Structure 1
């Protein structure tokens, strides 16, 4: 595999994890940028990075860099993605890749015009177990898919000042954890949802604290999602068909799928599929990103992200919830 020059923007916890994955898969990290010089120096020393930038724009414009990895809060993604693409860099951005569908459509089109790879950091797109399950569904072992159920509950401390509850920083459950649930649902829906029903309970700061979301597509496949920021739920997804169902726990970094076949006249039968290693989730992301560049396409990954972005946008619109920095027209 070709070695690429990666540049990291941001030094938070996910950037630490990604840096370890980059060092394992790619062998090194070319540069890192952060406006906080103290955090920047500490990060660079820990991750063995020689080049540091307190101005991310300067790093983006370094002609030696091939790929920009964006690990900042959501609100900064859009501008950095545009700058990186315009500088001729491939981009791997953490979720949510943008805060709304309008931003997504713009950066998707820009990447297409520039002939560059743009990828979103949903680990479940890259975990080996999903290819196994999708192959099983394609082979008809679950029959016709009817229903998908998926939960994600995170118990955040009560702190109205925390970024998770900050409307100015695109806080709330939907963009923080809802993307994962929606990505799971869209992975197993065979067509884009056309009907979306939802209800929400807002936190005192005006962001969504918990919600229920129902999706239905033209094939009458349905997905039911439950999200919460102040109540823990299991990260559990279930895909149900006319011949059985598959349960996937810890689905963002899943390695196991439990299958129950229900069409047997003699009763239920069970099967377990195991694939991958949850500890290598970000290594799979790095390897796939570099493979996308080498092959010149992303295996349809950005198309899934497009649907996720538009679903999340439609949900928020139905709630009447806008972030202060978004267009008011």
Structure 2
């Protein structure tokens, strides 16, 4: 156990995955909160958590909690992260961090006023193979990186009532899946200057397929594809003037990659060796920041999360996806 104690807000699938990895890493999970006490108790029993709360208000008020992991749907991230921040807790918020950029700005300002950490749980940024890829890019091994391509394509439930297809819950492939390749492209190439998007919408108005062609601030380009109705290769590539990196499936999880020179020579091969799913790395980084008294991540500054949300807002507008709160 460590000196920083976690509270888990909500008990859905992503909360299970995250908490399992916290346990794998030996981190201290002090409490869980749900809208139903039965769900909280079952979750607490499964992961040996001492405190189970039947409301989110009780969770954030728990004196044994230092940081809250917000695992509710996108549509409730602003509300629930605000609840935690106003209770004096640091927050790690599941991606996408909010429904839109304005909500993200509100959280940034509140966290700054309270002197608390607010961080988007884009776990891919913190994985060892991504750390190594950034080192290779920074060393100039690829030369000038001119193209990034990536897909995040899965066959997920098409039931109109499913969270992914429900606009009132922030449903759609873009925020649930597209955030991964968009954030990755921004990480490697910098902010997106212009993005052109086309897509397909479900009967609920949520997006199911999106293709994005983007130009980044430095002139490089990215090509990104997303689907919630069809499973693709889920690979990614960085193409530079001297070499490229081919990241194997599933690129946004612990995986392998190769650095290949322009003449076909393999310069480096990397294979991830990670216990669990790999979500513990973002948690460990959050704990590192808290111990140092820092309130922002240098691997994913919150202003960058806001910039990414603004890009997603623009793409949604091009697709014609409108959330109920925007009507």
Question: Tell me, what secondary structure is at the counterpart of 1:233?
Answer: coil
Aligned to 1:17: 17
Question: Tell me, what secondary structure is at the counterpart of 1:235?
Answer: coil
Unaligned runs of 5+ in 2: none
Change (3 A) 1:251 1:312: same
1: distance between equivalents of 2:170 and 2:94? 14
Equivalent of residue 288 in structure 1, options 285, 297, 301 = 285
1: distance between equivalents of 2:170 and 2:122? 18
Deviation at 1:91, TM superposition (A): 0.2
Deviation at 1:51, TM superposition (A): 1.2
Aligned to 1:43: 43
1:119-138 per-residue CA deviation (whole Å, 9 max, x = no partner) reads: 11212111011121111111
Deviation at 1:68, TM superposition (A): 0.6
2: distance between equivalents of 1:279 and 1:216? 35
1:13-37 per-residue CA deviation (whole Å, 9 max, x = no partner) reads: 2211222222343543111110122
2: distance between equivalents of 1:198 and 1:280? 31
Aligned to 1:247: 246
Assess if the C-alpha contact under 8 Å between 1:187 and 1:304 holds in 2: no
Aligned to 2:202: 203
Q: Does 1:237 align with 2:233?
A: no
Change (3 A) 1:123 1:59: same
Aligned to 1:119: 119
Aligned to 2:264: 268
Superposition pairs of residues 184-203 of structure 1, within 5 angstroms:
184-189=184-189, 191-203=190-202
1:60-82 per-residue CA deviation (whole Å, 9 max, x = no partner) reads: 12333210111111111110111
Superposition pairs of residues 1-329 of structure 1, within 5 angstroms:
2-189=2-189, 191-249=190-248, 250-262=250-262, 267-270=263-266, 271-277=268-274, 279-295=276-292, 296=294, 297-301=296-300, 302-326=302-326, 328=327
Assess if the C-alpha contact under 8 Å between 1:21 and 1:286 holds in 2: no
2: distance between equivalents of 1:254 and 1:59? 31
Change (3 A) 1:201 1:117: same
1: distance between equivalents of 2:299 and 2:150? 22
1:253-301 per-residue CA deviation (whole Å, 9 max, x = no partner) reads: 1332211110xxxx32013123442635112122111011112142241
2: distance between equivalents of 1:236 and 1:251? 5
1: distance between equivalents of 2:299 and 2:318? 28
1:198-243 per-residue CA deviation (whole Å, 9 max, x = no partner) reads: 1111111111010111111232111111111111112211111111
Question: Tell me, what secondary structure is at the counterpart of 1:281?
Answer: coil
TM-score when normalising by structure 1: 0.93
Question: Tell me, what secondary structure is at the counterpart of 1:230?
Answer: coil
2: distance between equivalents of 1:232 and 1:107? 34
CA RMSD of aligned residues (A): 1.7
Change (3 A) 1:15 1:218: closer
2: distance between equivalents of 1:287 and 1:294? 11
Bigger Cα displacement from structure 2, 197-206 vs 63-72: 63-72
Unaligned runs of 5+ in 1: none
Deviation at 1:195, TM superposition (A): 0.9
TM-score when normalising by structure 2: 0.93
1: distance between equivalents of 2:124 and 2:304? 12
1: distance between equivalents of 2:64 and 2:45? 21
Assess if the C-alpha contact under 8 Å between 1:196 and 1:315 holds in 2: yes
1: distance between equivalents of 2:18 and 2:85? 21
Question: Tell me, what secondary structure is at the counterpart of 1:321?
Answer: coil
